[in-house]
Structure 1
């Protein structure tokens, strides 16, 4: 039995992530805007369906949107701004067209145009370019990936400030999906990771606009290449976007760790989201959305149980585009 919103425990997060679980801007924009106007949404724990929460937007200052195709959502940004909320977009743009790893995305040339238009509309500081994940094998050599990245970077670098990349994690669903298409697909070795990272750093120096480079949830230390560990929920960027918001400035300021040696000034220690992977540097936020509701059909995706589950979910969404909850 599904609990009603007024009987559920309520969370009122400062920052909402929309969403690591599904592509809300591409497929669920109508739902999101209806929930924003209503002031809340519901959330169910994907690993414990009995755990449900009412997510209140009353205190929310900023939304982080994650998408591979945010173009359908672009008209809504003006209303979000008018409601006094800030935002930025984590825009994943890979080039796996030849391999068919992202079968239901728009054509690459269209996504490149959409990236530029989005940056023109909301500002390059609000559009983070993500290359995620980097996969090797089956013809995808590090040199092939770097060549494709170079072509992308020459087009995209004037329209963003940062490139974030990560290497594929071979979760069970990811492994099954990739190996069904080509058994040779695999994660890069550490040597290949370092080669790719060094290549990206070298390419970055030749692009029209030099980008900040960072990895997402990677244990590998690449600081000697000028590549930092990213915080996708980025306290520094959020403070930049909310300069007059006293609560944001206070809550997102780095905490100071207690010093073990007398007379030493403790270094600032940013808060991190304990609900994410150990190598994740994200500031705490609340993720909304649900697994099994993204029809992009990316072969490496770990968030969709099966194509039939996604089809059923999207059929329900079409019948109730504004009032549905991700609890059906």
Structure 2
């Protein structure tokens, strides 16, 4: 267990499963800070809609799902999590959008693929989930071109993972504003016919990879293409990783329902997210969580100056 000596009158959460994070790339930019917060036993998070703070305690935390486009900075810390008995897996996003500039500050694909392989060699391929997210169509990327890019990446890493999660682009209002702000036009959501065409192509590619395929938050069934409903916080994968942990197995039996805080089509089980909006500096044009890129950069710089901060969000909303 992790000791928590801090006292506060604000609302407190004591999660068993932590997400780090849907809202920002903690492994890429905040791994040192995150480890410091685990050592301190808590962090403070602000509600992105009303700016109210609440406290996340790590005293009961047994599992972390990491979301990232670059886990390299956190690899050195993995023995620390192991020493605490905290288990984990990585949702590792590998997109090939460098030519279009949709992911402004993301490392070159070649480097990210090498890190993917290295991480898999260190922790095991069952703990490194390949995400192709979001799947984008635009005037610059046709469906066949998108499949070709995914094929090239899959041919490189299929021996280093067991799962591929796909997620089709959703044009939220905040995303639409960002696209206009970045000067991108023509990016659009898939038509249903294009979803089935893509699924057909991906299913064909997977005959040589033999990966477990799933799709995030889709209202159309893709089972005929051997693509399951996605569960990014996945009780089955957690159960596989924690097969020798009686506490986690019992916990999953009792807590494998839908996370009601997520969108209606999301299949994830409950977890507590430790990230904060407007803190990621990858500069992805399609991001829903970075609504103010300038504020994100300022928050990042402030946290570098204040590495012992209780919260990664120092400037407010």
Aligned to 2:11: 9
Tell me, yes or no, if the aligned pair for 1:129 and 1:163 is still in contact at 8 Å: yes
Match of 1:77 in 2: 78
- Any gaps of 5 or more consecutive residues in structure 1? 256-269
Equivalent in the alignment of 2:67: 66
**Pair 1:214-2:242 in alignment:** no
- 1:311 corresponds in structure 2 to 297
Matched, 1:40 2:42: yes
CA gap 1:190/1:7 in 2 versus in 1, 3 angstroms = same
Give CA-to-partner distance per residue, 1:92-139, whole Å, 9 cap, x none.
000001111001011111001010001001110110000000111212
Give distance in 1, aligned partners of 2:219 and 2:59: 36
8 Å Cα contact 1:34-1:323 kept in structure 2? no
Aligned length: 308
- Corresponding residue of 1:53: 54
Partners in 2 of 1:30 and 1:41 — Cα distance? 13
Partner of 1:272: 258
Counterpart residue number, 1:129: 130
Q: 1:44 to 1:58 in 2, by over 3 A?
A: same
Q: State the alpha-carbon separation in 2 of the partners of residues 313 and 5 from structure 1.
A: 25
**Among 189, 192, 198, which residue is 1:190 paired with?**
192
Structure number with greater Rg is: 1
Following the alignment from structure 1 to structure 2, what is the Cα–Cα distance between the partners of residues 158 and 314?
35
User: 141-150 vs 172-181, which deviates more?
Assistant: 172-181
CA distance in 1, matches of 2:159, 2:254: 30
Q: Deviations over 1:25-64 (max 9, x none)?
A: 00001110001111111121111212x2211111111000
List structure 1 segments (4+ residues) > 4 angstroms apart after TM superposition: none
Q: Specify the alignment match of 2:97 in structure 1.
A: 96
Given the two structures, how large is their TM-score scaled by the length of structure 1? Answer: 0.91
Deviations 1:212-235 (A, max 9, x none): 000011111001111101111010
TM-score by length of 2: 0.94
